[in-house]
Amino acid sequence: MPQYEKILLKNMEQPGYSGSLQDYERTGGYQALRKVLKGISPADVTDIVKNSGLRGRGGAGFPTGVKWSFVPKDHPGPKYLCCNADESEPGTFKDRQLMERDPHQLLEGMVLTCYAIGAQTGYIYIRGEFRLGATILERAIEEAKQAGYIGQNVLGSGLTANIYVHAGAGAYICGEETALLESLEGKRGMPRFKPPFPATHGLYQQPTVVNNVETLANIPHIVTRGAEWFASIGAPPRSTGTRIFCLSGHVKWPGNYEVPMGITFRELIFENGGGMRSDSKKLKGIIPGGASAAFFTEEHLDVKLDFESVAQAGSMLGSGGVTVMEEGTSMVWAAMRLMEFFYHESCGKCTPCREGSSWLLQTLQRIWARRGRAEDLDMLLDLCKNIEGRTICAFGDAEVAPVVSTLRYWRNEYEELIREAEVTRPAKGEIPVFTH
């Protein structure tokens, strides 16, 4: 792997760095904000981000500057910025580290974004379980207010940028941007129909931008060092910059790794992660982008970690949660465990998702308990087909990905469990004998 410079994790890897305002300023913090307020227009800030090629780091990968440009310039009412800090995707834990270890990096990114889109108010919608992160952010906001970086008349410029922390109630669906907005308004967290989109009808039906933590944390660095600098990193032109990947599972060194976009799974797992935890067991499966991404196999180790390459290989980069599984792991069990999560977290608004997740889970549990039948496999695929693309948000597509991909690559494991069931299943007319 070539040498590269870390961007988002650089500060916190310095000895003694506490994440305080004083430490952040010592590393150049809030200089991007000072630079902008000296004479860079909001439109120019948007163009800088657009030209950098930065794409959303929360899952969808939509170009950030383009999303900002959708906000109407002449809107007479308020505009809002919402930071999606509801990091609930299984296998993903990068945003938590960014908030807890370097909170001012996120806050500066939010103030710059408020300036660019013309918003005076920003909300950090944080996962309810992240109580430490919420406390640290509240303290950092107060520090920034006292220093004049947040609030009324920021640094004497006339800019107003108020930022508030709002804790959710632990619902995975609130990571979806419109469900997040519903929850922020005090309603039940359920996705909205689109269109209209949040850029024109978001929070309180006002123009709103929703970006996640990692996306916003990149903004100060792009403004300070320029669009060309950021666009030269990674796999330009469509996957630029670095990305924090959450490496977990059966590896020697699990953790968050910030690497240039475009390195391979092999490099991430075996160079950064130290390889498989057991030298006697080979890699069997990879979840490339959080629980909602389709599984990969050992044959995908040389796929590049960028948006296009992963999509072409049949999955998605998603939230950046890379989970590694070794030989001996039952992929039927893995799919069932993920389906238990999706069934529990379905908001219930869409019938295909609400009912389909229940049927998928029951079928998987029956197969795992050695009570499955051969026709269950076709039924699983048929259920997935009737869920995918038929729900308001992407949750339906997410929940079928583990089932479809494990059936594609490890169908033999499903068939083996069904064969075991057929051996023990009573013949027709025979009275089954149950033993404890």
Q: Once rounded to an integer, what is the mean pLDDT over residues 369-393? A: 96
- Inter-residue contact 197 to 8 (CB < 8 Å): no
Q: What is the pLDDT of residue 250?
A: 98
What domains can be seen in the chain, in order of their start residue?
Answer: 11-232 (3.40.50.11540), 239-326 (3.10.20.600), 331-424 (1.20.1440.230)
Contacts 24+ apart (CB under 8 A), 336-343: 336/361, 336/364, 336/365, 336/368, 338/90, 338/291, 338/399, 338/402, 339/364, 339/399, 339/402, 339/403, 341/90, 341/172, 341/291, 342/291, 342/395, 342/398, 342/399, 343/399
Q: What is the pLDDT of residue 433?
A: 46
For residue 418, CA distances in Å to 252, 366, 410, 412, 414 come to 34, 10, 13, 10, 6
Write down the mean pLDDT value for the chain. 95
Lookup: tokens for 94: 């990068």
- 81: enclosing H helix or E strand: strand 80-85
DSSP structural state of residue 192: P
- Inter-residue contact 276 to 291 (CB < 8 Å): no
pLDDT band (50, 70, 90) for residue 424: confident
* CA atoms of 340 and 335, how far apart (whole Å): 9
* CA atoms of 186 and 176, how far apart (whole Å): 16
User: Residue 40: what are its φ and ψ, rounded to 5°?
Assistant: -95, 125
* CA atoms of 81 and 107, how far apart (whole Å): 12
Given a cut of 60, whether residue 434 has pLDDT beyond it is no
Using omega within 30 degrees of 0 as the cis cutoff, is the peptide bond preceding 352 cis? no
Q: Once rounded to an integer, what is the mean pLDDT over residues 353-381? A: 97
Q: What is the pLDDT of residue 425?
A: 67
For residue 231, CA distances in Å to 51, 55, 240 come to 7, 11, 5
Share of the chain above pLDDT 70, in %: 97
Single pTM value for the model: 0.94
Given a cut of 70, whether residue 114 has pLDDT beyond it is yes
Residue of 48, 213, 222 whose CA lies nearest to 122:
213
pLDDT in tens, 267-302: 999 999 999 999 999 999 999 999 999 999 999 999
Q: Once rounded to an integer, what is the mean pLDDT over residues 340-348? A: 96
Given a cut of 70, whether residue 78 has pLDDT beyond it is yes
Given a cut of 50, whether residue 334 has pLDDT beyond it is yes
User: Residue 259: what are its φ and ψ, rounded to 5°?
Assistant: -135, 160
pLDDT in tens, 149-187: 999 999 999 999 999 999 999 899 999 999 999 999 999
Q: Once rounded to an integer, what is the mean pLDDT over residues 7-32? A: 97
